[in-house]
Amino acid sequence: MARQIKAEKNLNSRQIRDAEATQAVILAAAEEEFAKHGLTSARTEAIAKKTGVAKSMIYYYFKDKEGLYQAVLERSHSDLLQTSQQLDLDHLSPEAALEKFLTALLDCVSRNPKLPLIMFHEAVQNQGKYYKRSSSLSIDTKLVKILERGVATGVFRKLDPFQSAINIMGTCLFYFVGAGNIQQHPQGKRLLSKAMLEQHAQEAIALILAGVRNP
Amino acid sequence: MARQIKAEKNLNSRQIRDAEATQAVILAAAEEEFAKHGLTSARTEAIAKKTGVAKSMIYYYFKDKEGLYQAVLERSHSDLLQTSQQLDLDHLSPEAALEKFLTALLDCVSRNPKLPLIMFHEAVQNQGKYYKRSSSLSIDTKLVKILERGVATGVFRKLDPFQSAINIMGTCLFYFVGAGNIQQHPQGKRLLSKAMLEQHAQEAIALILAGVRNP
DNA sequence: GTCTATACGAGGATAGAC
DNA sequence: GTCTATCCTCGTATAGAC
Q: In total, how many domains does chain A have?
A: 1
Structural domain boundaries enclosing B30 = 2-212
Q: Point out the nucleotide closest to A51 (alpha carbon to C1′).
A: D2
How many angstroms is C1' of D4 away from CA of A51? 17
User: For the residues of B63-120, what is the DSSP string, one character each?
Assistant: SSHHHHHHHHHHHHHHHHHHHHHH---TTS-HHHHHHHHHHHHHHHHHH-THHHHHHH
Q: pLDDT by residue (tens digit) across A22-80? A: 999 999 999 999 999 999 999 999 999 999 999 999 999 999 999 999 999 999 999 99
Under-50 pLDDT residues of chain B: 1-2, 4-14
Give ∠ CA A131-A134-A136 in degrees, rounded to 5.
115
Q: What percent of chain A has pLDDT over 70?
A: 87
Give CA separation, A88 vs A82, A133, A152, A205, in Å: 12, 20, 19, 19
Cβ-based contacts of A127 with chain B (< 8 Å): 180-181, 183
Select from A125, A128, A175 the Cβ nearest to the Cβ of B170: A175
Among B162, B172, B205, the strongest candidate for a mutation testing the A interface, having the largest count of A CBs within 10 A, is B162
pLDDT at A122 over 60: yes
Q: Which of A38, A6, A16 has its CA nearest to residue A126?
A: A38
Nucleic strand C within 7 A of Cβ B17: yes
Q: How far apart are the first and last CA of chain B?
A: 53
Q: Point out the nucleotide closest to A19 (alpha carbon to C1′).
A: D1
The neighbouring-strand residues paired with A156 are: A213
User: For the residues of A120-165, what is the DSSP string, one character each?
Assistant: HHHHHHHTTTT-TT-HHHHHHHHHHHHHHHHHHHTSB-S--HHHHH
Question: Tell me, what's the pLDDT at A185?
Answer: 57
Closest chain A residue to the Cα of B159, Cα to Cα: A203
Backbone angles phi, psi at B111, to 5 degrees: -65, -35
Nucleic strand C within 7 A of Cβ B57: yes
Q: pLDDT by residue (tens digit) across A123-155? A: 999 988 898 656 667 888 999 999 999 999 999
CA of A205 vs chain B CAs: smallest distance (Å): 10
User: Residue A123: which CATH number?
Assistant: 1.10.357.10
- Give yes or no for a contact between A95 and A213, defined as CB atoms under 8 angstroms apart: yes
Cβ contact, residue pair B125, A175, below 8 Å: no
CB pairs under 8 A between A and B: 154
Question: Tell me, what's the pLDDT at B43?
Answer: 98
The strand C neighbours among B residues 78-107, by Cβ under 7 Å, are: none
Give ∠ CA B5-B10-B14 in degrees, rounded to 5.
105
Interface of A with B in 49-108 (CB under 8 A): none
Q: pLDDT by residue (tens digit) across A156-213? A: 999 999 999 999 999 999 999 988 776 655 665 789 999 999 999 999 999 999 999 9
Select from B183, B186, B215 the Cβ nearest to the Cβ of A162: B186
Nucleic strand D within 7 A of Cβ A5: no
The neighbouring-strand residues paired with A184 are: A190
Cβ contact, residue pair B159, A206, below 8 Å: yes
Question: What whole-number distance in Å separates Cα of residue A83 and Cα of residue A146?
Answer: 16
Average pLDDT of span A98-116: 98
Identify the DSSP state of A128.
Answer: T
Backbone angles phi, psi at B160, to 5 degrees: -85, 115
- What is residue B88's three-state secondary structure? coil
- Strand C nucleotides where any atom sits below 7 Å of a protein CB: 1-5, 11-16, 18
